[in-house]
Structure 1
Amino acid sequence: MSTPLRRTSGLAVASLVSGILGWTILPLIGALVAVVTGHLARGEIRREPDRYEGDGLAVAGLVLGWAALALAVLGTLAVLLFFGGVAWLSTF
């Protein structure tokens, strides 16, 4: 009995590449694409585990994407709080 060859999910590879791009060239877009394709890849791999592999790639893309998004939110919040505080202090 021969075992069927499993292919690496293209969505998992796209998630990892987008996650890396989210930290380098395309901060917001890359992170969003990494999260979306990572979730799609994990679903695809779970539905057909005998056909697809690459769950680790998808998880890595998800981690990179979510971390970039969290850092962007924290950075935006810090900027808003800083300039809001400066504006508040300037009223005195």
Structure 2
Amino acid sequence: MQTSTRQTSTLAVVSLVAGILGWTVLPLLGSIGAIILGHLARAEIRREPQRLEGDAMAVAGLVLGWVSALLWVLGILAFLAFFGGLAWLAALN
């Protein structure tokens, strides 16, 4: 009887690590890496489901990456709105 063991996708692991780094040490680069690698990992796992596992790790990396990227965009918009409003008020005086 031969049993085949499934291997965890390396891309899924790296996506999760990049997602964690996106929240700690490398905010923007880690988030972008987590998003890209998470999508690549999920595609790889879907192509070879008998050989690879780790879809949950890829999804976790994707979620961490997308939430961090969304917060970056909202933070930049808030920064621009705040300082743009200050510039507008300064122009009135």
TM above 0.5, yes or no, is yes
Pairs within 5 Å for 1:51-90: 51-90=51-90
SS in structure 1 opposite 2:12?
helix
CA distance in 1, matches of 2:62, 2:50: 22
**Residue 37 of structure 1: how far off its partner (Å):** 0.4
CA distance in 2, matches of 1:91, 1:46: 56
Pairs within 5 Å for 1:18-29: 18-29=18-29
**Residue 10 of structure 1: how far off its partner (Å):** 0.2
- 4+ runs of 1 displaced by more than 6 Å? none
State the number of aligned residues.
Answer: 92
Q: Which residue is equivalent to 1:6? A: 6
Q: Which residue is equivalent to 1:47? A: 47
**Residue 2 of structure 1: how far off its partner (Å):** 2.2
- Give 5+ residue unaligned stretches, structure 2: none
Cα RMSD of the aligned pairs, angstroms, is 0.6
Instruction: State the TM-score, normalized to the length of structure 2.
Output: 0.97
Which residue identity lines up with residue 82 of structure 1 in the other structure?
F
Instruction: State the TM-score, normalized to the length of structure 1.
Output: 0.98
